[in-house]
Amino acid sequence: GEEVAQTPKHLVRGEGQKAKLYCAPIKGHSYVFWYQQVLKNEFKFLISFQNENVFDETGMPKERFSAKCLPNSPCSLEIQATKLEDSAVYFCASSQSSANGYTFGSGTRLTVV
């Protein structure tokens, strides 16, 4: 499709529970990026993929966060043992190549209570 589809739109988890977020990039886009938006305008890069390979994971809190992009499946971002500070909107973006811009998904709002 022509949009980046993120599911679910909203997710509520109790502290310590697992959270799993999904992102279907635009067909034909090789690059997928995950960003975390905390507060209102603070974006933090988490991880990027080139096809199913991790391209850059320097932003990932590795002890609890993991991500995958497997062939023929939506990409996923999983948070084990969520903490209150993980409450944020998680955006996925995809890109076809360096010559093209990004298309952002509508985000998943994660609330940890």
Partner 1 sequence: KNEVEQSPQNLTAQEGEFITINCSYSVGISALHWLQQHPGGGIVSLFMLSSGKKKHGRLIATINIQEKHSSLHITASHPRDSAVYICAVKSGGSQGNLIFGKGTKLSVKP
Please report, as ranges, the residues that interact with partner 1 according to CB under 8 A.
Answer: 31, 33, 35, 40-43, 45, 48, 50, 55-56, 59, 89, 91, 95, 98, 100-104, 106-107, 109
Q: What is the C-alpha separation between 7 and 21, in angstroms, rounded?
A: 6
Residue 52: CB atoms within 10 Å:
13
- Closest contact distance (angstroms) between CB of 16 and partner 1 is 26
Measure the CA–CA gap between 27 and 13, rounded to whole angstroms. 31
Residue number with CB closer to partner 1 (22 or 45)? 45
Question: CA-to-CA distance for 32 and 62, rounded, in angstroms?
Answer: 18
In the complex with partner 1, which residue's Cβ is closer, 22 or 55?
55
Give me the least distance between CB of 27 and partner 1, in Å please: 18
The distance of Cα 42 from the centroid of its chain, to the nearest Å, equals: 15
Q: Which of 25, 36, 35, 49 is nearest to 85 (CA)?
A: 36
Residue 33: CB minimum distance to partner 1, A: 6
Nearer of residues 17 and 57 to partner 1, judged by Cβ: 57
CB of residue 6 vs partner 1: minimum separation in angstroms? 10
List for the chain the helix, strand, coil content (%; round to 5): 5, 50, 45
Q: Which is nearer to partner 1, 22 or 104 (CB)?
A: 104
